[in-house]
């Protein structure tokens, strides 16, 4: 029995051993649907089927961008393959699949490249005159070649480090005075050629006691006679375009007076005729200016003032962007279509400083004016600086954000001068350092009969009276004396600040004209919110001046926002004007209105039957002519000082409606009066400006006054 048991046990173990040996020598199988799979450059995922009688595992050769997982359920096995977006060249990864002792299977994963590209951030390189080397990073998914246009002094090599590429650009020393330029062409199949501009400065010696020096030129040729200044010292470039300044760097910048028929690069719509100085007063700095040749002998200048951009609850920015910018851009485009170079000149109070200085600043202004279709030369107004007891503290924000406080430039044959005539505490005055600089600047203007246009915020003269007598504002007489001593005969001094328009030709100075421009903001942007009428305090439509210069000839006109250039006057039938709160301010408190209407509306608060007709000619000067016919009879015309009725009903009476007394309208001497024979006759009005342009109206009477009678 024992022997028998031993035999049975031995037999059973033998069978088990043989079965075990057979199981270990079986071959597993592993099959896949495909061994090649392709992807587009975009991130993606694909699934392929797999069969095996053992556990399947997968490994990627490039897991940084190609991964795979095994998904098994019931009798099905799938390989889920994922790839990331390919922004480089075409690439391949390999997936290795294993299952037990089955033979491994390799899947080739291909991913296409994007369309061929080459990206180079630096395409305008600046080198000083010594020999130098610079590496430029290139991002590309194709092979490319780089070729220099001037291999004698500028060479280029393509450097590859792993997957990264760069250009090694070297220049030899430039021993000449003039700068030089080379172009490096980057080329590859299927890609537009990319050009890197290599600019190298010329060499010239540093002069003793000169702390700022440089070169001014165009197309690698120096320009002689260009005026350069730091606001104190004034010099000119020599025959090679080289200048030297013994600058103490008080203002921290240097600027050129752009010569006629040249322009400068523009950043944020501001011409870059100036550059900041970065070193201390005793450290020598080099500052170069590259100019662009143009023909601007014939040009137009859009002149606007008192924009008072802010966020004070009157939709100021919206109004500027919706009404002013499109109006100005339309005019600018029409000039440029005719081949007339066009520029803009802002006469100050571009923002509303003082109590609201932090509400909308100079940087905000720069962002808004990017929408104008031309570059802007800027004048600083009192509201463009915070009131301060310290001169440099008040002026610094303007210098940091906008540019120089005062400067000059030339367009064609016209010489333009920008002055800052407000002190740090808002005193209306040109400080002595500006007069000293101005005298030096004007000494370089050879042609005293060419247009000299001076731009400042505070106007030179007050509004003239009906006898054409006006007084000088601030210390403007000192400016007049300087101009007179030089013998200039074609001078226009532009100003704003008063928010009203007037023009004055001082009889004592025949070659001088003083122009005060109407405010672009009208009544600080308020009236359009109430009545949809944009009007100034003396009745002119809110707008801007346009100055057309052709050689030495200058013409100008006022352009109201939303109106054609022919809209230059407005008529009133005095018989039909009776300003009462009941009609024009019905929401006003009756007792409050009874007290204040006579104060703000006189003489229009009283009815009239004198058959008077009033004509507001807002752009009037003594070169204009006003003619009025009643039938065949010419009526005598008298210049009068009076307020504009439409201005009153759009501002003062709207303020009464809100419960406020505000005597904001200004007396104007640009009004003319005639007395008709009949209260119902039709008048024919003809107004001729000093350039022969004729503006007419057939005035049917009675003529009613409404808030929209514009």
Q: Encode pLDDT of 157-199 as tens digits.
A: 999 876 578 999 999 999 888 899 999 999 988 888 999 999 9
Give yes or no: residues 470 and 600 share one domain.
no
Give yes or no: residues 586 and 686 share one domain.
yes
Give pLDDT, residue 15. 42
Report whether 319 contacts 435 (CB < 8 A): no
Range(s) of the domain holding residue 178: 118-200
DSSP state of 342: E
Give yes or no: residues 493 and 526 share one domain.
yes
Give yes or no: residues 632 and 545 share one domain.
no
* CATH number, position 123: 2.60.40.10
Give yes or no: residues 106 and 129 share one domain.
no
Residue 560 pairs with which residues in a beta bridge?
543
Domain end point (choices 238, 256, 274): 256
DSSP string, 69-109: EEEEETTEEEEEEEE----SS-EEEEEEEEETTSPPEEEEE
Residue 618: inside a domain: yes
Give yes or no: residues 92 and 176 share one domain.
no
pTM: 0.81
Domain end point (choices 540, 560, 580): 560
Domain end point (choices 76, 111, 146): 111
Nearest Cα to 406, choosing from 396, 421, 426? 421
Residue 10: inside a domain: no
Give yes or no: residues 243 and 358 share one domain.
no
Give pLDDT, residue 203. 85
Give pLDDT, residue 354. 60
Q: Encode pLDDT of 315-325 as tens digits.
A: 999 999 999 99
Residue 605: inside a domain: yes
* CATH number, position 425: 3.60.21.10
Give yes or no: residues 514 and 468 share one domain.
yes
Give pLDDT, residue 177. 86
Residue 21: inside a domain: no
Nearest Cα to 225, choosing from 208, 240, 214, 210? 240
User: Sign of torsion, CA 468 630 703 675?
Assistant: positive
Give yes or no: residues 323 and 224 share one domain.
no
Strand ranges of the sheet holding 543-550, from the earlier edge strand across to the other edge: 376-378, 341-346, 298-304, 543-550, 553-560
Residue 428: inside a domain: yes
Give pLDDT, residue 4. 52
CA–CA separation, 709 and 702 (whole Å): 13
Report whether 305 contacts 348 (CB < 8 A): yes
Residue 386: inside a domain: yes
Longest dimension (CA), the chain: 160
Give yes or no: residues 529 and 576 share one domain.
no
Residue 24: inside a domain: no
Residue 707: inside a domain: no
Give pLDDT, residue 23. 44
Domain count, the chain: 5
Give pLDDT, residue 147. 95
Give yes or no: residues 619 and 692 share one domain.
yes
Packing angle between helix 476-486 and helix 432-442, nearest 10 degrees?
20
Give yes or no: residues 552 and 574 share one domain.
no
Give pLDDT, residue 88. 75
Nearest Cα to 306, choosing from 578, 501, 555? 501
Low-confidence ranges of the chain (pLDDT < 50): 1, 6-8, 10-24, 357
Report whether 531 contacts 707 (CB < 8 A): yes
Give pLDDT, residue 163. 57
């Amino acid at each position: 029995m024992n022997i028998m048991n031993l035999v049975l046990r031995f037999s059973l173990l033998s069978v088990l051993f043989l079965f075990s040996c057979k199981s270990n020598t079986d071959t597993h199988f592993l099959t896949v649907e495909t061994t090649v799979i392709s992807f587009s450059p975009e991130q993606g995922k694909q699934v392929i089927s797999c069969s095996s009688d053992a556990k399947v595992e997968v490994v990627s050769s490039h897991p940084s961008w190609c991964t795979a997982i095994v998904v098994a359920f019931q009798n099905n096995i799938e390989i889920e393959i994922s790839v990331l977006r390919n922004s480089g060249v075409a690439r391949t990864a390999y997936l290795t699949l294993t299952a037990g002792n089955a033979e491994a299977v390799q899947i080739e994963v291909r991913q296409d490249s994007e369309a061929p590209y080459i990206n180079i951030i630096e395409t305008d390189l600046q080198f000083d005159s010594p020999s130098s080397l610079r590496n430029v990073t290139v991002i590309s998914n194709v092979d490319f070649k780089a070729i220099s246009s001037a291999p004698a002094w500028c060479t280029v090599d393509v450097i590859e480090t792993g997957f990264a590429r760069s250009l090694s650009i070297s220049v030899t020393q430039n021993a000449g005075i003039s700068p030089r330029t080379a172009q490096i062409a980057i080329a590859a199949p299927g890609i537009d050629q990319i050009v890197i501009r290599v600019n190298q400065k010329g060499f010239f010696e540093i002069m003793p006691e000169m702390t700022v020096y440089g070169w001014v030129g165009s197309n690698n040729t120096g320009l002689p006679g260009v005026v350069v200044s730091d606001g104190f010292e004034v010099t000119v470039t020599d025959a090679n375009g080289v200048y030297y300044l013994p600058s103490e760097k008080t203002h921290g910048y240097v600027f050129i007076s752009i010569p006629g028929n040249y322009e400068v690069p523009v950043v944020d719509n501001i011409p870059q005729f100036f550059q900041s100085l970065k070193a201390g007063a005793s450290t020598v700095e080099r500052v170069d200016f590259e100019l662009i040749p143009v023909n601007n002998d014939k040009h137009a200048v859009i002149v606007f003032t008192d924009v008072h951009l802010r966020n004070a609850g009157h939709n100021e920015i919206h109004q500027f962007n919706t009404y002013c910018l499109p109006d100005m851009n339309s005019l600018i485009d029409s000039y440029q279509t005719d081949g007339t170079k066009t520029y803009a000149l802002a006469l100050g109070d571009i923002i509303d400083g003082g109590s609201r200085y932090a509400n909308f600043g100079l940087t905000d202004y720069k962002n808004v004016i990017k929408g104008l279709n031309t570059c802007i030369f800027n004048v600083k107004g009192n509201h463009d600086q915070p009131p301060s007891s310290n001169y440099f503290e008040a002026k610094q924000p303007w210098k940091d954000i906008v540019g120089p406080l005062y400067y000059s430039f030339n367009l064609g044959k016209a010489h333009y001068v920008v002055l800052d005539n407000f002190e740090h505490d808002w005193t209306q005055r040109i400080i002595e350092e500006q007069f000293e600089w101005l005298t030096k600047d004007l000494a370089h203007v050879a042609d005293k009969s060419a247009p000299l246009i001076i731009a400042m915020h505070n106007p030179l003269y007050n509004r003239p009276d009906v006898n054409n007598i006006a007084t000088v504002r601030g210390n403007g007489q000192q400016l007049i004396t300087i101009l007179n001593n030089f013998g200039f005969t074609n001078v226009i001094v532009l100003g704003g600040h008063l928010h009203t328009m007037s023009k004055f030709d001082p009889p004592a100075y025949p070659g001088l004209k003083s122009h005060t421009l109407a405010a672009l903001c009208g009544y600080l942007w308020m009236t359009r919110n109430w009545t949809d009428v944009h009007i100034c305090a003396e009745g002119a439509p809110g707008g801007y001046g346009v100055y057309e210069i052709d050689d030495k000839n200058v013409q100008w006109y006022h352009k109201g926002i939303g109106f054609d250039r022919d809209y230059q006057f407005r008529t009133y039938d005095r018989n039909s004007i009776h300003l009462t709160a009941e009609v024009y301010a019905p929401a006003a408190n009756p007792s409050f209105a009874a007290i204040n209407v006579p104060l703000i509306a006189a003489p229009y608060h009283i009815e009239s039957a004198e058959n008077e007709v009033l004509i507001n000619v807002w752009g009037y000067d003594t070169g204009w002519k006003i003619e009025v016919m009643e039938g065949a009879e010419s009526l005598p015309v008298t210049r009068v000082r009076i307020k504009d009725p439409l201005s009153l009903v759009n501002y003062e009476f709207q303020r009464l409606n809100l419960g406020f007394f505000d005597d904001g309208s200004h007396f104007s001497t640009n009004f003319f009066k005639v007395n008709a024979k009949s209260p119902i006759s039709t008048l024919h009005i003809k107004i001729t400006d000093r350039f022969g342009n004729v503006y007419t109206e057939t005035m049917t009477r009675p003529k009613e006054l409404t808030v929209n009678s514009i």
